[in-house]
Amino acid sequence: MIRLMALLVAIVVALFAASLLVGPAKVSVADSLSALFAGDKGPLTLFMREIRLPRAILAAMIGASLGLAGAAMQGYLRNPLAEPGLIGVSGSAALGAVLAIHTGLSATFALGLPLAALTGAFLGVVLVMSLAGPRGTSLTLILAGIAISALAAAITSFVLNLSPNPFAANEIVFWMMGSLTDRSMTHVWLALPFMALGFAVLARLGRGLDALTLGEDAALAMGIRVDRLRLQLVIGTACVVGAGTAVAGAIGFVGLVIPHILRPLVGAHPSRLLWASALGGAAMLLAADIAVRVVLPGRDLKLGVLTALVGAPLFLHLILKLRRERI
Amino acid sequence: MVVWGLLVSQATANEAPERVVSMNLCTDQLAMLLAGPGQLASVTYIATDPRASAMAEEAKNYHINRGLAEEIFLLEPDLVIAGAFSTQATVAMLKRLGIPVVVFDPAYSMPDVRDRIAQMGDVLQRTQAARDMIDDFDARLRALSEEVTHSPRAVLYYANGYTSGDKTLAGEILTAAGFENAAIEAGYGSGGKLPLEVLALTDPDAVITGRPYPGASRSEAILDHPVVQDLREGRESGTLTDHDWVCGTPFVLRAIEALSTVRRDITGDGE
């Protein structure tokens, strides 16, 4: 276990460093690191601290939230298909963010943007969990997710098309696919408090989720208050997904792929899967964000494109596997 | 040039056109500047938008069209003026309906501006008015191109991080005002998307941005990024591109004039 954790931490640290050093502007490693730490090198320090650093921090933070939220939802619903992007939570968070930006709420009140996205994510989780039910099958969960995603995407596109700003309609892609291009420290500070709160809530769910693997009755007998667990899960997920989506758009499949890869390595214990998925998610999003800059520099390839290319085949594989097991 | 000559000779074989409809923002303005009384029947709705059009007030005196073939046909024009970027399907249909259409290319440089004025003069049979306008344009452009001892480095930076290189009208306005286009030295002379980090390292003396549209957008939010803010702070920050920059008309001289003032403020020249 310790070895897995050390390995994941090493990967995240290496990718974080790589993220700081990769980009369309060619700057030597020594120059960029000294500008970052020593400071006061004029434009180079500004460039490292306000462009590269926030980008790397956000990739790690958002990847960790998506991995953690995916692992927690899958543990609670005992369903490997539960993932914030697929079941419409990211989509409803994006809708909340778009409404905040285009009603002017985010301009008048600094925390308006993350709070609105959080509200959207909260409504999304509540809706999908009540539609699918506590013991809902994969099918109802995915159907509920598709319905919520489609509705949220439609309203988001509608709002953006209504905007008097000619650029707004082109931003539909950003809200659906997500990107970390040209983010700044402002966005880190916007997302950080909500994410920290969500991390704190989700990280404490481990014992309850472990107990829940034995069934709801057994968990109740062990003194786990399942309704409270559900509330914590909803709030925690809404916090991390809402804050992440508000600054980077909806990025799918991270919460699906990472728990799936790591589950066998942690002996299928939901509690261990939580922190492992957080680290794995951070690594995946950092890698994806490096890849978009290496593959098509300067074209702003969306992150969701890469995560979906990896995640969608896995999703199909999971569906086939579930079908074999059920029938 | 040859194609244009042929089109003109066809359109103007007989009399001067009496009912002209323009369906492009830039030809709208050239036509309004050069047409004789009652000659121009209609301009596009964009010509009434003060953000894009330098003649928004004048345009309100004309019938407004939205560039659709059926409405233009019903106006019964004896000549339609379109831009190279006008809808090809509309232009083709008008030609099929037997309406003479002249297509104007966009202007990418100062000589292009002169050519378009001359072309509009020929098309409207207002050659003398066009010749006067060109002489005036040349004289004012000469007066503006004073001796520049030191060229500050500037970058044009628009929504989504797009920039303009040297073979564009905006790039020509920039150099005509005595600036050096720093996007070229950064390797983005052909325009397109200039990554924010490249802009930060280019560290120009002035960042010239577009005027934001109403309503918020992420695309324009890049202009509020701390790096752009820092580059603009304490330097020339009131520099915005506006309707004078959009089209190859004599209004570009106004843009050059305004920008030259900015340059003198930076270098402390003149006065």
Tell me which residue in A102, A166, A299 faces B216 most closely, judged by beta carbons.
Answer: A102
Domains contained in chain B, CATH given: 2-141 (3.40.50.1980), 153-267 (3.40.50.1980)
Determine the Cα–Cα distance for residues B266 and B117; give it in Å rounded to an integer: 33
User: How many helical (H) and strand (E) elements, i.e. helices and strands, does chain B have?
Assistant: 13, 11
Nearest residue to A274 via CA among A320, A321, A240: A240
Give pLDDT, residue B203: 87
Closest B-chain CA to A175: B218
Q: What are phi and psi of A78, to 5 degrees?
A: 50, 50
Nearest residue to B99 via CA among B120, B116, B81, B85: B81
> Is the pLDDT higher at A59 or at B194?
A59
* pLDDT tier at B5, thresholds 50, 70, 90: very low
pLDDT tens readout for residues B120-162: 999 999 999 999 999 999 999 988 877 677 889 999 998 888 9
pLDDT of residue A142 exceeding 90? no
Q: How far is B149 from chain A (nearest CA, A)?
A: 26
Q: Which residues pair with B65 in a beta bridge?
A: B44
Q: How far is A103 from chain B (nearest CA, A)?
A: 9
Structural contact between residues B30 and B116, judged by C-beta atoms closer than 8 angstroms? yes
Tell me which residue in A25, A102, A186 faces B201 most closely, judged by beta carbons.
Answer: A25
- ipTM field: 0.77
Q: What are phi and psi of B241, to 5 degrees?
A: -80, 145
The alpha helices in A163-269, defined as continuous H runs, are: 172-177, 185-203, 206-212, 216-221, 226-248, 254-262
Q: Which residues pair with B21 in a beta bridge?
A: B42, B80
Residue B37 burial by CB count (10 A; 0-12/13-18/19+): exposed, middle or buried?
Answer: exposed
Closest A-chain CA to B161: A182
pLDDT of residue A133 exceeding 80? no
Please report, in angstroms and rounded to a whole number, the separation of the first and last CA atoms in chain B. 42
Specify the pairing of strand B180-181 against strand B153-157: parallel
Give pLDDT, residue B27: 95
Q: What is the mean pLDDT of chain A?
A: 90
Determine the Cα–Cα distance for residues A287 and A294; give it in Å rounded to an integer: 10
B200 contacts in chain A (CB < 8 Å): 25, 43, 46-47, 50-51
Tokens of B56: 């928004």
Nearest residue to A232 via CA among A202, A208, A277: A202
Determine the Cα–Cα distance for residues B80 and B22; give it in Å rounded to an integer: 6
Tokens of B82: 């379109």
B203 contacts in chain A (CB < 8 Å): 42-43
Tell me which residue in B192, B217, B230 faces A168 most closely, judged by beta carbons.
Answer: B217
Other CB atoms within 10 Å distance of the CB of residue B12: 17
pLDDT tens readout for residues B235-271: 655 567 788 998 999 999 999 998 888 888 888 765 4
Among chain A, residues having any CB pair with chain B shorter than 8 Å are 23-25, 27, 42-44, 46-47, 50-52, 101-102, 104, 106-107, 163-168, 170-171, 174, 181-182, 184-186, 297-300
Structural contact between residues B104 and B83, judged by C-beta atoms closer than 8 angstroms? yes
Structural contact between residues B97 and B73, judged by C-beta atoms closer than 8 angstroms? yes
Q: How far is B212 from chain A (nearest CA, A)?
A: 9
Determine the Cα–Cα distance for residues B235 and A43; give it in Å rounded to an integer: 14
Nearest residue to A160 via CA among B159, B215, B213, B221: B215
Q: Establish, for the pair of chains A and B, how many residue pairs have beta carbons separated by less than 8 Å.
A: 87
Q: Cβ contact (<8 Å) for B216 and A101?
A: yes
Instruction: Give yes or no for B147 touching A (CB within 8 A).
Output: no
Helical pair A89-103 and A112-132, crossing angle rounded to 10 deg: 150
Q: Sketch the domain layout of chain A as residue ranges.
A: 77-326
Residues with Cβ within 8 Å of residue B245, at least 6 apart in sequence:
B169, B170, B173, B252, B255
Q: How far is A26 from chain B (nearest CA, A)?
A: 9
Nearest residue to B201 via CA among A66, A306, A32: A32
- CA–CA–CA angle B166, B168, B174 (5° rounding): 65
pLDDT of residue A24 exceeding 60? yes
Query: Which secondary-structure segment (H or E) carries A20?
Result: helix A2-21
Fold (topology level) of A77-326: ABC transporter involved in vitamin B12 uptake, BtuC (1.10.3470)
Q: How far is B194 from chain A (nearest CA, A)?
A: 7
Specify whether the backbone of B123 is left (phi greater than 0), alpha (psi in -120 to 50) or beta. Answer: alpha
pLDDT tens readout for residues B210-238: 888 887 888 888 888 888 888 877 665 55
The alpha helices in chain B, defined as continuous H runs, are: 2-11, 25-34, 56-59, 69-74, 88-96, 110-124, 127-144, 169-176, 182-185, 196-202, 218-221, 226-232, 252-267
pLDDT tens readout for residues A233-290: 999 999 999 999 999 999 999 999 999 999 999 988 999 999 999 999 999 999 999 9
Structural contact between residues B155 and B182, judged by C-beta atoms closer than 8 angstroms? yes
In chain B, residues 183-212 whose CB comes closer than 8 Å to chain A: 192-193, 195-198, 200-201, 203
